[in-house]
């Protein structure tokens, strides 16, 4: 079942596609729309999402398709049956939970593009609320309650805490939440309370997000990236409008979760009733137009749009005296290096890049900023404000409260380099006890070590006398040994408690490790000095500090030096009862290193290895080749027999089988559980991830070349498998690491995460010559192929036909037409028969096929082998017999429809037979997991336009075991969209890596003129 999220009139609704299709006889029309033949029942959707009886609805969605059925979602893997989709109305059962419930759904069900997008929107809303980027508002219209409206928020326990606010600690978006009007509005509005008349209509009290500066840029990115399927409910609306509505609903629900106490005890006046409606389940209150206008002005003032310039605030340290200064300046919004102090602006000196009247921009910006930073009013009392003088407390307030608010609102802020870094913390020193020193690498995590805790600034310890002096001064910013340090009351009290408590003693290595990893929220650990194996572990350099383990007896291979170090690291963690993540680059031999560990241990209890189905045969072959003494049993398929498990040294199974046979696997004793391609468990909420984590075992090992693909939550999930509980609960990981690093690029949090995970992750890359110096070179060449006259005619006909249709379409229909056009043009570039599907002859009709024949002849003449990758299984089916007949040689063909035994037989033949041959492969079926080092040529017949996917396919040959230089050729038809997209990727590499990774959908957002330029056939394209 594939769950989708769509924004409806009642909020975020969820519907799903089921694998079970309804027969044509079972389809029926209902009202204006036809019943979606693959839609799942609402009850099944609620069960999958874990929702407790949410309201169900029937939604009418505009979806592309034919008169018979809608196009299947790309995630289903089903091929569309129509080449010319049209938007039609389809009716689907859906569930519409409350906004608070909906916020909890997308994170664990991100298998579709819509669900991943709503998860990003939910994270954005959480970040805005956490930073206090919200304001209260009054909206006219019918009120609603949680009981009557499925879109209303519910009050539930919150992990967010109250939103962080202005200096008073009780405001939102930089303004205090008082019972009267905002102080800055007193002069404009007079006594607003006096104007509040008897309410004339009902309204709703809501919380609205304030999106400015960097947040506004991210909002635009989210709107552009919104899949059309997120907004297909009945009538399409602009993505920005849908995003705004969703963000407001999520924000309102989140703030209500955080505000668990009512803002007023007894609501009597209209104003108090509005305040009371800002918390709890019901948001109904009287409509007071004057209040609504004041709130609207407040929202506009804090959400003022950015122009070409912005006001910038720069905090300057005191030179000799105790006076800090905030320098005021103008800064170009698109070029932060253009920084002009206010004094120069007032002098009237023209500056290139600033507007004609920069003093107006400066005054207007300062007027907006004073609402967020009231202390600025002191500087504005003078005729030409250029700076603000502060004492130490004022400087600390600017650092902690004003600077984040100003920066979030789009103002420029420049702080000293030490800001946010040099803080009071703890330094931990541990020493191995004398009686256990002789145990060397055999130290267990339960053994005792001596420890000492000292207070420190950076890496420098400070004495109790120095701490007492800091407490006496009672200032939040102090200079300690030449460093400025932020020291608030909370930290100071925590430091004094640390001094009063046990500063020396002994504890188990396990307790010390958990303290280092999980840290202390009040007084962070800033330095660690440990010896022995605990020092090796905490250094993050254990792999290089340990004595390498040579190739163990019974392993029919010779380990490379870095593999010997990796084996020592794995054995070291195993001896401590800890798990690890072997994250070596693809092709560096994670498989053989793991087999070496099993041979080295000679454990009496079996190891369970869980991997994707496509790698089962590879593990069987590698174990038989390199570790023939290991007893291997594959627990998969209809003939699996759990009674054979105790007799094996290595039990291989798939993720799907592990989930189905969980209870059986839990009954057995395991020395270790290994997850290969561990990105399969990167989503901690999936059934297979939970199943694998729940199998009892001594230690665990994750094998993956990509421990983080999209976000840091994936790293937590993999680490939670390897060492359960070591990083703490996911909610704490999110607030401590994920949100600071991803949302604010917090360097201190990034270093703390590296210190926490470094001991358990071993990552080496094959481009590092210190790791592997004898891996051959990879030479990439672009082969430019002309079109034949027939191809050129077909190409132009497709462009002319489709551009007219694209120009007259919009929304999801337009996107579908663009993707269909690209597919057709790529098929034309391959061969006319690929597009026409008429079974006609292949010879002499395609410039690309002609060049492929030439390359294949040259490769075979040299007695070598080649991999030919195509993304189209139907084209591979055409190529295999044609090349075999034309070249008189063996041509193998591997695609996703082959059973496992056939795949294994083809791979073995290609690797073992000495004769030159070609291997045609489907990119999706063979792009990962296969070892095909017998080939030293790789040809990408048609481009996938995702560099990462092509590189993974190339790495089937460019990996350890390869003895020759690997030549990679990418066939591109000159003068066609293939050339222009290739140029676009090369020109905008960073953008391509970010958005092209989802496939080719990024091209669908281009305008018709831009598409015309991409699709246009130029003269050099015709041969």
Q: For the segment 472-500, what is each residue's pLDDT rounded down to a tens digit? A: 666 677 676 667 777 666 766 766 666 65
Least confident span in 364-378, 441-455, 459-473: 441-455
- Top pLDDT among 707 and 923 is at 923
Rounded to whole angstroms, the Cα distance separating 981 from 994 reads 15
Same-domain pairing of 264 and 366:
no
pLDDT-derived band at 627 (thresholds 50, 70, 90) equals very high
What local confidence, expressed as pLDDT, does residue 446 receive? 60
pLDDT-derived band at 596 (thresholds 50, 70, 90) equals very high
Asked if residue 923 belongs to a domain, the reply is yes
pLDDT-derived band at 152 (thresholds 50, 70, 90) equals very low
- Top pLDDT among 394 and 74 is at 394
Same-domain pairing of 134 and 214:
yes
pLDDT-derived band at 599 (thresholds 50, 70, 90) equals very high
Q: Reply yes or no on whether the pLDDT at 1001 is more than 60.
A: no
How does pLDDT run across 413-460, given as a tens digit for each residue?
A: 888 877 766 567 777 777 776 544 333 444 456 666 676 677 776 556
Q: Reply yes or no on whether the pLDDT at 940 is more than 80.
A: yes
Least confident span in 275-289, 297-311, 887-901: 297-311
The string of DSSP codes covering 965-1012 is: PEEEEEEEETTSHHHHHHHHHHHTHHHHHHHGGG-SGGGGGS-HHHHH
Instruction: From residue 102, give the alpha-carbon distance in Å to each of 10, 121, 122, 223, 711.
Output: 12, 11, 9, 19, 21
Mean pLDDT in residue range 495-524: 64
Asked if residue 550 belongs to a domain, the reply is yes
Q: For 377-423, list the strands marked E by DSSP.
A: 387-390, 412-414
CA 250 to chain centre: 20
> Around 467, how many Cα atoms within 13 Å sit in the side-chain half-sphere?
23
Asked if residue 767 belongs to a domain, the reply is no
Q: Reply yes or no on whether the pLDDT at 243 is more than 50.
A: yes
Q: Which of 938, 990, 993 is nearest to 962 (CA)?
A: 938
Percentage above 90 pLDDT, the chain: 14
What local confidence, expressed as pLDDT, does residue 755 receive? 76
3-class DSSP state of 451: strand
From 490, 512, 539, the end of a domain falls on: 539
Rounded to whole angstroms, the Cα distance separating 167 from 162 reads 14
Rounded to whole angstroms, the Cα distance separating 140 from 90 reads 33
What local confidence, expressed as pLDDT, does residue 60 receive? 86
Same-domain pairing of 479 and 370:
no
Same-domain pairing of 29 and 127:
yes
Asked if residue 998 belongs to a domain, the reply is yes
Q: Reply yes or no on whether the pLDDT at 168 is more than 60.
A: no
What local confidence, expressed as pLDDT, does residue 772 receive? 63
> Which letter does DSSP use for residue 646 in this model?
G
Least confident span in 612-616, 659-663, 694-698, 774-778: 774-778
Show Cβ contacts of residue 968 under 8 Å, excluding neighbours closer than 6 positions: 778, 779, 780, 781, 938, 939, 940, 954, 958
The string of DSSP codes covering 47-92 is: HHHT-SS--EEEEEEEEEE-SS-BPPPGGG-PPPS-SS-EEEEEEE
Q: For 786-898, list the strands marked E by DSSP.
A: 866-870, 891-894
Most confident of 158-167, 456-465, 856-865: 856-865
Q: Reply yes or no on whether the pLDDT at 1022 is more than 70.
A: no
From 414, 439, 472, the end of a domain falls on: 414
What local confidence, expressed as pLDDT, does residue 773 receive? 63
Contact of 568 with 543, CB cutoff 8 Å: yes
What local confidence, expressed as pLDDT, does residue 423 receive? 66
Least confident span in 40-54, 456-470, 922-936: 456-470
The label of the residue with tokens 């075979």 reads: 860
pLDDT-derived band at 947 (thresholds 50, 70, 90) equals low
Q: Reply yes or no on whether the pLDDT at 294 is more than 50.
A: yes
What local confidence, expressed as pLDDT, does residue 460 receive? 67
Most confident of 71-85, 578-592, 702-716, 998-1012: 578-592
Asked if residue 500 belongs to a domain, the reply is yes
Same-domain pairing of 353 and 477:
no
pLDDT-derived band at 234 (thresholds 50, 70, 90) equals low
Least confident span in 125-129, 405-409, 805-809: 805-809
What local confidence, expressed as pLDDT, does residue 414 receive? 87
Asked if residue 336 belongs to a domain, the reply is yes
Q: Other C-beta atoms within 10 Å of 541: how many? A: 13
pLDDT-derived band at 78 (thresholds 50, 70, 90) equals low
Contact of 262 with 248, CB cutoff 8 Å: no
Least confident span in 16-20, 175-179, 786-790: 175-179
Q: Reply yes or no on whether the pLDDT at 124 is more than 50.
A: yes
Mean pLDDT in residue range 944-967: 76
Same-domain pairing of 563 and 454:
no
Average pLDDT of the chain is 76
What local confidence, expressed as pLDDT, does residue 157 receive? 27
The CATH number assigned to the domain holding 562 equals 3.40.50.10810
Q: Reply yes or no on whether the pLDDT at 162 is more than 50.
A: no
Instruction: From residue 548, give the alpha-carbon distance in Å to each of 521, 551, 597, 627.
Output: 38, 10, 12, 20
Percentage above 70 pLDDT, the chain: 72
Same-domain pairing of 966 and 818:
yes
Query: Residues for the chain: how many in total?
Result: 1023
Q: Reply yes or no on whether the pLDDT at 22 is more than 60.
A: no
Same-domain pairing of 511 and 559:
no
Q: Output phi, psi for 350, to 5 deg.
A: -65, 140
Rounded to whole angstroms, the Cα distance separating 376 from 383 reads 14
Calculate helix-pair angle for 113-130, 239-258, nearest 10 degrees. Answer: 50
pLDDT-derived band at 682 (thresholds 50, 70, 90) equals confident
What local confidence, expressed as pLDDT, does residue 300 receive? 72
Least confident span in 212-216, 278-282, 832-836: 212-216
What local confidence, expressed as pLDDT, does residue 525 receive? 66
What local confidence, expressed as pLDDT, does residue 303 receive? 59
Per-residue three-class SS string for 729-764? CHHHHHHHHHHHHHHHCCHHHHHHHHHHHHHHEECC
Asked if residue 449 belongs to a domain, the reply is yes
Mean pLDDT in residue range 926-941: 84
The tally of domains found in the chain comes to 5
Rounded to whole angstroms, the Cα distance separating 562 from 584 reads 10
Asked if residue 768 belongs to a domain, the reply is no
- Domain range for 455 is 424-539
Same-domain pairing of 927 and 960:
yes
Q: Reply yes or no on whether the pLDDT at 1012 is more than 70.
A: no
What local confidence, expressed as pLDDT, does residue 513 receive? 72
Same-domain pairing of 904 and 1016:
yes
Same-domain pairing of 552 and 528:
no
From 252, 286, 302, the end of a domain falls on: 302
What local confidence, expressed as pLDDT, does residue 663 receive? 93
Show Cβ contacts of residue 186 under 8 Å, excluding neighbours closer than 6 positions: none
What local confidence, expressed as pLDDT, does residue 702 receive? 93
Mean pLDDT in residue range 233-255: 85
Q: Reply yes or no on whether the pLDDT at 816 is more than 70.
A: yes
Of the chain, the end-to-end C-alpha distance in Å amounts to 48
Same-domain pairing of 297 and 335:
no
């Amino acid at each position: 079942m594939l769950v989708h999220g769509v924004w409806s009139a009642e909020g975020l609704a969820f519907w799903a596609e089921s694998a079970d299709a309804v027969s044509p006889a079972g389809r029926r029309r209902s009202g204006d729309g036809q019943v979606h033949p693959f839609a799942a029942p609402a009850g099944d959707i609620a069960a999958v999402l874990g929702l407790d009886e949410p309201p169900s609805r029937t939604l009418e969605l505009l979806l592309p398709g034919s008169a018979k059925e809608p196009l299947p979602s790309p995630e289903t893997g089903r091929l569309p049956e129509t080449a010319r989709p049209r938007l039609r109305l389809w009716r689907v059962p859906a569930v519409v939970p409350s906004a608070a419930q909906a916020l909890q759904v997308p994170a664990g069900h991100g298998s579709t593009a819509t669900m991943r997008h709503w998860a990003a929107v939910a994270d954005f809303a959480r970040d805005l609320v956490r930073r206090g980027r919200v304001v209260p508002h009054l909206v006219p219209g019918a009120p609603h309650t949680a009981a009557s409206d499925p879109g209303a928020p519910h009050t539930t326990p919150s992990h967010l805490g109250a939103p962080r606010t202005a200096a008073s600690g009780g405001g939102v978006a930089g303004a205090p939440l008082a019972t009267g009007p905002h102080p800055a509005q007193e002069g404009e509005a007079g006594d607003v309370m006096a104007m509040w008349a008897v309410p004339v209509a009902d309204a709703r009290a809501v919380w609205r997000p304030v999106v400015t500066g960097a947040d506004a840029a991210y909002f635009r990115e989210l709107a552009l990236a919104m899949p059309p399927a997120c907004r297909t409910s009945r009538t399409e609306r602009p993505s920005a409008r849908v995003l705004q509505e969703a963000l407001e609903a999520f924000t309102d629900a989140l703030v209500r979760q955080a505000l668990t106490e009512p803002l007023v005890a007894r609501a009597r006046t209209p104003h108090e009733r509005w305040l009371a409606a800002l918390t709890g389940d019901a948001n109904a209150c009287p409509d007071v137009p004057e209040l609504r206008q004041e709130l609207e002005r407040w929202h506009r003032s804090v959400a003022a749009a950015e122009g070409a310039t912005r006001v910038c605030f720069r905090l300057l340290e005191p030179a000799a005296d105790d006076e800090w200064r905030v320098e005021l300046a103008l800064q170009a919004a698109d070029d932060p290096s253009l920084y002009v102090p206010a004094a120069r602006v007032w002098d009237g000196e023209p500056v290139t890049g600033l507007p004609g009247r920069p003093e107006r921009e400066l005054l207007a910006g300062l007027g907006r900023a004073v609402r967020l930073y009231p202390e600025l009013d002191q500087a504005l009392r003078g005729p030409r404000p250029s700076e603000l003088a502060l004492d130490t407390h004022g400087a600390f307030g600017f650092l902690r409260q004003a600077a984040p608010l100003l920066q979030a609102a789009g103002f420029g802020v420049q702080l000293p380099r030490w800001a946010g870094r040099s803080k009071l913390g703890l330094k931990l020193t541990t020493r191995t006890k004398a009686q256990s020193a002789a145990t060397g690498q055999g130290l267990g995590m339960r053994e005792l070590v001596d420890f000492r805790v000292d207070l420190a600034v950076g890496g420098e310890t400070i004495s109790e006398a120095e701490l007492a002096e800091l407490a006496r001064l009672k200032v939040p910013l102090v200079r300690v040994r030449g460093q400025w340090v932020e020291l608030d009351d909370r930290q100071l009290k925590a430091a004094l408690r640390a001094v009063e408590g046990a500063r020396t003693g002994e504890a188990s290595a396990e307790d010390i490790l958990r303290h280092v990893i999980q840290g202390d929220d009040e007084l962070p650990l800033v330095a660690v000095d440990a010896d022995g194996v605990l020092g090796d572990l905490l250094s993050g350099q254990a792999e290089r500090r340990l004595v390498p383990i040579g190739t163990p007896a019974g392993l029919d291979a010779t380990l490379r030096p870095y593999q010997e170090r990796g084996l020592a690291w794995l054995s070291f963690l195993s001896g401590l009862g800890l798990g690890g993540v072997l994250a070596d680059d693809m092709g560096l031999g994670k498989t053989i290193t793991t087999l070496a560990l099993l041979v080295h241990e000679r454990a009496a209890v079996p190891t369970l290895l869980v991997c994707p189905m496509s790698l089962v045969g590879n593990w069987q072959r590698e174990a038989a080749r390199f570790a023939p003494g290991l007893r291997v049993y594959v627990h998969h398929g209809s003939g699996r027999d759990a009674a054979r498990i105790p007799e094996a040294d290595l039990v291989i199974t798939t993720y799907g089988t592990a989930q189905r046979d969980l209870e059986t696997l839990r009954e057995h004793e395991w020395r270790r559980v290994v997850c290969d391609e561990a990105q399969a468990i990167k989503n901690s909420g999936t059934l297979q991830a939970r199943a694998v984590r729940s199998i009892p075992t001594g230690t665990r090992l994750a094998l993956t070349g990509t421990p983080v693909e999209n976000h840091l939550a994936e790293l937590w999930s993999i680490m939670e498998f390897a060492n359960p509980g070591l990083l703490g609960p996911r909610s704490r990981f999110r607030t401590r690491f994920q949100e600071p690093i991803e949302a604010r690029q917090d360097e201190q949090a990034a270093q703390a995460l590296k210190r926490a995970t470094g001991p358990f992750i071993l990552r080496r890359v094959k481009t590092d010559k210190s790791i592997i110096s004898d891996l051959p070179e990879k030479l990439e060449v672009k082969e430019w192929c002309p079109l034949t006259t027939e191809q050129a005619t077909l190409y132009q006909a497709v462009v002319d036909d489709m551009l007219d249709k694209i120009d007259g379409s919009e929304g999801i229909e337009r996107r579908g037409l663009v993707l269909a056009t690209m597919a057709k043009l790529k098929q034309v570039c391959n061969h006319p028969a690929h597009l026409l599907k008429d079974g006609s002859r292949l010879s002499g009709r395609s410039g690309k096929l002609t060049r492929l024949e030439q390359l294949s002849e040259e490769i075979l003449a040299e007695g070598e082998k080649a991999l030919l990758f195509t993304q189209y299984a139907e084209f591979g089916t055409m190529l295999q017999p044609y090349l075999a007949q034309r070249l008189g040689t063996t041509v193998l063909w591997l695609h996703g429809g082959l059973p496992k035994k056939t795949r294994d037989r083809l791979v073995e033949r290609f690797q073992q037979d000495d004769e030159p041959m070609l291997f045609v492969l489907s990119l999706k079926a063979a792009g990962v997991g296969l070892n095909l080092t017998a080939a030293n040529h790789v040809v990408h017949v048609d481009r996938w336009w995702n560099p990462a996917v092509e590189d993974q396919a190339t790495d089937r040959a460019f990996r350890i075991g390869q003895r020759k230089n690997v030549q990679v050729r990418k066939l591109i038809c000159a003068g066609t969209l293939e050339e222009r997209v290739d140029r676009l990727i090369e020109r905008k590499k960073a953008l391509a890596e970010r958005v092209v990774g989802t496939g080719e959908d990024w091209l669908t957002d281009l305008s018709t003129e831009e598409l015309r330029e991409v699709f246009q056939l130029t003269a050099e394209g015709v041969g």
